[in-house]
Amino acid sequence: MRILVVGGGGREHAIVWALKKSEKVKEIFCAPGNAGIAQLAECVPIAVNKFDELVQFAKDAAIDLVFIGPDDPLAEGIVDAFEAHNIPVYGPSKAAAEIEGSKIFMKNLLKKYNIPTAKYETFTDYESASAYLRQQEVPIVIKADGLAAGKGVTVAYSMEEAERALREAMVDKVFGEAGNQIVIEEFLEGQEMSILAFVDGETVRAMVPAQDHKPVFDNDKGPNTGGMGTYTPLPHIPQSIVEESIENIIIPTAKAMVSEGRPFRGVLFAGLMITKDGPKTIEFNARMGDPETQVVLPRLETELVDIVLASINGRLDQLDIVWSDEAAVCVIVASEGYPAAYPKGRVITGLDAAAAQGALVFHAGTADKDGSIVTNGGRVLGVVGRGRDIAEARNRAYEAVSVIHFDGMHNRTDIAAKALKGLQ
């Protein structure tokens, strides 16, 4: 088979790596890819939003299957664009991807089908949002409706902070159109958990759970990012809670999407908070997580390509998916300044030494410049250690990080620390 993967981050590097394990897969192309992906696949310089060019490339290169990584093109209908040309493609349609593209759509869906989530109100004008906000108590959560690269959510611990977040989204438009409508929602307290699931209509095959670390600095300080590190499994979260989340949240949501005439095919990703009243939904994403993918796929023993083909052919319900018992920890190595402005073009050393230790080094924002691998994004690398348990995997991830260098590199030092301490 010849496969085209669309995207160019750490998630797509892990997807390409997993697809490549199959003997069925003869060649992989990746648009646009990055310097790490280029070691496994042929990178094609087409941006993820250039649907016509991507479709043309898929035709010219006789691509058998397209796998879409990122959220933006899904929200804009990339799957519909390939399907219109009868090119097999894995990912949700534009209508189904709205579960991520509009938080208001998602919240209204969950309310209609009684699926557990935080209480909320939605607003389209600043005056009424602001009046409502002043009657609430802190902490409170302000969310831009549309996609904002993981940065459209403010958990405000003071009214001043909440008012500022509201003003920035609705008046200053720091997230552009994504802030035209906003959600003000109840603060949920508890442990976070991400469950990704392969979904085809009503069929749900959940992956192993993972936990992300969103704020940029240790002890969850600083602004939220796309994710600074992940780990799996979650030894401090009982399996019964994982099952409850799948039964009460993910399966009912897949069914609700079918009832709404928007059947979901692809990876549905539930961001959950385990509250004292049980698991509740924080968000849904219509794609694999980044960097959840980097720890989840290394535990996948069934071939990824078989799962994708089964989904596309409506046979996902006949497939048993097997996961290893090993642990995996991913530490994101970022550029100084991220998630605000950051420099690019800094030479990265130690990648081979890290790989020689057995770590998986997934590239997120890298480029090849005159034969050197240089930084080219906010999140630069996802360094994954694997082991019999979290402690071993974590040590291996941090040992590998310690041999990698570029000027101004930054990583959190407490990824998976909560799991080790068994802390709430």
Which chain residues interact with ligand GLY by CB under 6 A?
Answer: 150, 212, 226-227, 285, 289-290, 292
CA distances in angstroms from 79 to 57, 87, 94, 235, 317, listed in the order given: 15, 9, 7, 36, 22
Residue 169 Cβ, how far from ligand GLY at the closest point, in Å?
Answer: 19
**Measured from the CB atom, is 136 or 357 closer to ligand AMP?**
136
| Residue window 195-234: x/- pattern of binding to ligand AMP, with contact defined by CB under 6 A | -------------------x---------x----------
- Residue 292 interacts, among ligand GLY, ligand AMP, none and using kind-specific CB cut-offs from 5 to 8 Å, with ligand GLY
Q: For residue 30, which of 14, 44, 15, 47 has the smallest C-alpha distance?
A: 44
Residue 153 as a binder of ligand AMP (CB under 6 A): the answer is: yes
Q: Which residues of 56-75 are buried (b: 16+ CB within 10 A; e: fewer)?
A: ebbeeeebbbbbbbbbebbb
Report the C-alpha gap between 80 and 59 in whole angstroms.
15
- Residue 145 interacts, among ligand GLY, ligand AMP, none and using kind-specific CB cut-offs from 5 to 8 Å, with none
Q: Are strands 120-123 and 182-186 parallel, antiparallel or unpaired?
A: antiparallel
**Measured from the CB atom, is 36 or 209 closer to ligand AMP?**
209
**Measured from the CB atom, is 139 or 150 closer to ligand GLY?**
150
Report the C-alpha gap between 318 and 295 in whole angstroms.
25
Which ranges in 92-134 belong to alpha helices (H)? 94-101, 103-112, 126-134
CA distances in angstroms from 334 to 228, 289, 371, listed in the order given: 8, 17, 21
Residue 231 Cβ, how far from ligand GLY at the closest point, in Å?
Answer: 12
CA distances in angstroms from 109 to 22, 187, 194, 256, 409, listed in the order given: 38, 19, 19, 7, 41
**Measured from the CB atom, is 37 or 141 closer to ligand AMP?**
141
- Cβ atoms of 344 and 375 within 8 Å: the answer is yes
- Cβ atoms of 104 and 183 within 8 Å: the answer is yes
Tokens of 123: 């607003």
Residue 214 Cβ, how far from ligand GLY at the closest point, in Å?
Answer: 7
Residues 337-396 that bind ligand AMP (CB under 6 A): none
Residues 105-124 that bind ligand AMP (CB under 6 A): 118
Find where tokens 């360094």 sit: 383
- Number of residues near ligand AMP (by CB under 6 A): 15
Strands (E), 20-152: 27-32, 42-43, 65-68, 89-90, 120-123, 140-144
- Cβ atoms of 30 and 363 within 8 Å: the answer is no
Judged by CB under 6 A, the residue of 20, 83, 126, 150 near ligand AMP is 150
**Measured from the CB atom, is 130 or 275 closer to ligand AMP?**
275
| Residue window 292-331: x/- pattern of binding to ligand AMP, with contact defined by CB under 6 A | ----------------------------------------
- Residue 118 interacts, among ligand GLY, ligand AMP, none and using kind-specific CB cut-offs from 5 to 8 Å, with ligand AMP
Residue 274 as a binder of ligand AMP (CB under 6 A): the answer is: no
3-class DSSP state of 91: coil
Residue 169 as a binder of ligand AMP (CB under 6 A): the answer is: no
Number of neighbouring beta carbons within 10 Å of residue 359 = 25
Residue 267 Cβ, how far from ligand AMP at the closest point, in Å?
Answer: 16
- Residue 282 interacts, among ligand GLY, ligand AMP, none and using kind-specific CB cut-offs from 5 to 8 Å, with ligand AMP
Judged by CB under 6 A, the residue of 283, 286, 298, 334 near ligand AMP is 283
Residues at the site binding ligand AMP, with contacts judged by CB under 6 A: 118, 141, 150, 153, 155, 185-188, 192, 214, 224, 271, 282-283
